[in-house]
Copies of this chain bind each other. A is one copy, B any other.
Amino acid sequence: MASLGELERAVMDLLWAGHEAATANTLRDLLAQSTEATGGAAGHEGKELAVTTVLTVLSRLEKKGLVERERGTRPHRYQAVSSREDHTAELMHEVLGSAPDREAVLARFIGSVTESEAETLRKLLGHI
């Protein structure tokens, strides 16, 4: 139950954008951001979505454990449970986890990483 649809991902992107800032977004915030011409690398933007559409998606994301909703405040506030980086790293572990030969997979994985990333990894591994 890890994969996201296109719209779900778009919404997560919005939430992730404000994750550091501990900015819990209201629905209105999200709609505003999504309509905003952000310079537009996004891809899903451009359409005017119905309010309920976004709410439905938020509910589904909540059920999946990716979004937390503050039900206390009146316009509810939504936020990503974990940062995009944490979530992605977790996903990578999920993918890796299902393999019988983890080390062989890692070997191939490392084989196609950029040099700068390899450097980062060396540094990180040193500290363990």
Tallying the copies of this chain within the complex gives 2
Interface residue A48 (Cβ < 8 Å from any Cβ of B): no
A95 beta carbon closer than 8 Å to chain B: yes
Please give me the residue from chain B that is nearest to A124 by CB atom.
B110
Bound Cα distance A36, B121 (Å): 43
Q: Which residues of A in the span 51-96 have a Cβ within 8 Å of any Cβ on B?
A: 84-86, 88-89, 91-93, 95-96
Within 8 Å of chain B (Cβ to Cβ): is A38? no
User: Would A104 and B85 count as touching, CB distance under 8 A?
Assistant: yes
A117-B103, A118-B128, A121-B121 given; A92·B95 CB < 8 A: yes
A118 surroundings in chain B (CB, below 8 A): 125, 128
Residues in B whose Cβ lies below 8 Å from that of A102: 117
Tell whether, in the assembled complex, residue B95 and residue A124 are in contact, meaning their CB atoms are under 8 Å apart: no
Q: A86-B108, A93-B112, A109-B93 are in contact. Are A122 and B120 (CB under 8 A)?
A: no
